[in-house]
Amino acid sequence: MLNLVLFGPPGAGKGTQSQKLIEKFGLIHLSTGDLLRGEIFEGTALGLEAKKLMDEGTLVPDKVVIGMISNKLDANKDAKGFIFDGFPRTVAQAEALDELLISKSSSISGMIALEVNDAELENRLLLRGKSSGRPDDANPEVIRKRIKEYNNKTAPVADFYKNQNKYTSINGIGEVNEIFTSICDVIATWLKKAN
Ligand code: AP5
């Protein structure tokens, strides 16, 4: 199985690159942000709880997102592999993901971190906010809060995978297709090692 953690701050390009990776590798895309927005759209109790936190740029509780991922792994038993996008976002989530995968005799192949500076992230998200209607893209204050949450709670997840020798960072600034090629080059080295 090919299980990729696509990592990076808000606006780094995780969703954009995931779409291309799905097409090339036939993986299942698990984006906790998309799953939470789905719950909000459906008006579920979970969605109502998450909306307030997401709109202000705060992470939702670990238990909620771990439960969602666990359900999705169970529902996709025959998958060739998964792209985890926006998950894990805390060390507790990373530990839980390892346990969930071990219970399915699987593991994370590696993490690819997209490196993008804060000014570029802000520009990208403000630009997207104009057309997407995502409340958490709407103003610079919330965007800065999301970046702060990333630096405080999510950045340490990189060390979790560095300690397992599963971490690679690439430049996330530049042409989308060039970044995609860099990601594919990293995955090719994993596949070569696995064979
Ligand atoms: P989530 O939906 O995961 O948002 P995010 O991490 O903030 O990521 P984005 O979707 O904003 O950015 P992205 O990296 O996917 O970039 P994209 O490709 O879209 O999370 C939202 C909220 O949900 C969180 O704040 C939290 O409250 C909650 N949440 C989610 N998961 C959670 C978890 N595990 N635990 C707890 N809470 C959780 O690109 C962004 C823009 O840039 C687009 O307009 C795109 O076209 C453009 N772009 C992409 N690549 C390039 C490029 N190379 N050059 C120029 N522009 C580019």
- The answer to whether residue 89 is catalytic is yes
CB contact at 8 A, 2 and 166? no
Residue 193 has a pLDDT of 87
Residue 134 has a pLDDT of 87
Average pLDDT, the chain: 96
Ligand 1 atom closest to the Cα of residue 146 is: 25
7 by DSSP, 3-state: which? strand
CATH level 3 topology of 2-186:
Rossmann fold (3.40.50)
Residue among 123, 121, 108 at smallest CA distance from 73:
108
Helix, strand, coil proportions of the chain in percent (round to 5)? Answer: 60, 15, 25
CB contact at 8 A, 7 and 158? yes
Domain borders along the chain are 2-186
Residue 194: which pLDDT band, with cuts at 50, 70 and 90? confident
Cα separation, 1 vs 191, in Å, equals 10
Tell me: ipTM over 0.90: yes
Protein residues with CB under 6 Å of any ligand 1 atom: 8, 10-16, 32-33, 36, 53-54, 57-60, 65, 86-87, 89, 93, 124, 128, 136, 146, 174, 176, 179
